[in-house]
Structure 1
Amino acid sequence: MTDWMGWLVAAGIVVIAELFIGTFYLLMIAIGLCAGAFAAWSGASGPVQTLSAAVVGLVATAILHRSRFGRPARSSATRDSNVNLDIGQRLQVGAWENGRARVMYRGALWDVELGPGALPEAGDYRIVEVLGNRLIVANA
């Protein structure tokens, strides 16, 4: 087996490992290994092949890390509407007592608290956060 085939086999193994782990970083390393295969195919020496694989892999990993795909979500799961489908829903609050209320929502009684900047008036509110059994709301 020639050198470039060895690099491509290694890239294939890394891609298969990425399928099990689910991170894009291994794909960037596989791109670097493909660069090593290209260097071997073009007739470069072993150290040049390794150096090209390392440089391309590191650059691809750095680009991924700076992109939006390389950063974890910055929002808390208690405020993320993709995690909790109650976020963004509306409910009616009849009366407030010291910034808290009890309301019927989805067939059960829930504790409701005012979010930052919300005014304690009877009316329609939007859920902005769910903390345990408490709904944090803002004026709709």
Structure 2
Amino acid sequence: MTDWMGWLVAAGVLVIAELFTGTFYLLMIAIGLGAGALAALTGASGPVQTLAAAAVGLAATAVLHRSRFGKPARSAPTRDRNVNLDIGQRVAVPAWQDGRARVMYRGALWDVELGPGAQAEAGDYRIVEVLGNRLIVANS
């Protein structure tokens, strides 16, 4: 097997690994290995092939890291529906006292507070945040 075939086999293995893990960083390293294959096709020596693969892989990884795809969106866990399944659920509030209430939710009494911009009137509300044992709600 020639050098360029070895580089492409290694790149193919990384692409398959990326499909199983879901990280784009392995894909960027595979691009670097593809550059090593191109260097091998042009007849470059082994160290030059390795340097080309490393340089392109590092550059591609750095570009990905600085892009919006390299960093996960940061949101407060108290407002993230993926962290707390209560976010988005409905709760019935019979009466308010100074922007606070006690309601029965999931078989227990909870303190409820109005979220920003919510109106204090009896009715159904949507949970927008959970702070400890307090539900922050907004109008439905």
- The two structures have a TM-score, normalised by structure 1, of 0.76
CA distance in 2, matches of 1:67, 1:90: 37
1:7 aligns with 2:7: yes
The equivalent residue for 2:105 is: 105
**Cα deviation 1:52-111 (Å, max 9, x = unaligned):** 213321332133224443112211222112222221122211112232211112232211
The equivalent residue for 1:34 is: 34
CA distance in 1, matches of 2:55, 2:74: 30
CA distance in 1, matches of 2:32, 2:123: 59
Cα displacement (A) at 1:127: 0.7
Q: Counterpart amino acid of 2:116?
A: P
The equivalent residue for 2:135 is: 135
Trace 1:66-81 onto structure 2 (pairs within 5 A): 66-81=66-81
Cα displacement (A) at 1:136: 0.8
Aligned residues: percent identity? 84
Aligned length: 140
CA distance in 1, matches of 2:118, 2:76: 20
- Aligned residue for 2:102, secondary structure, equals strand
Q: Counterpart amino acid of 1:102?
A: R
- The two structures have a TM-score, normalised by structure 2, of 0.76
1:119 aligns with 2:128: no
CA distance in 1, matches of 2:133, 2:19: 37
CA distance in 2, matches of 1:51, 1:34: 12
- Structure 2 residue ranges without an equivalent (≥5): none
The equivalent residue for 2:83 is: 83
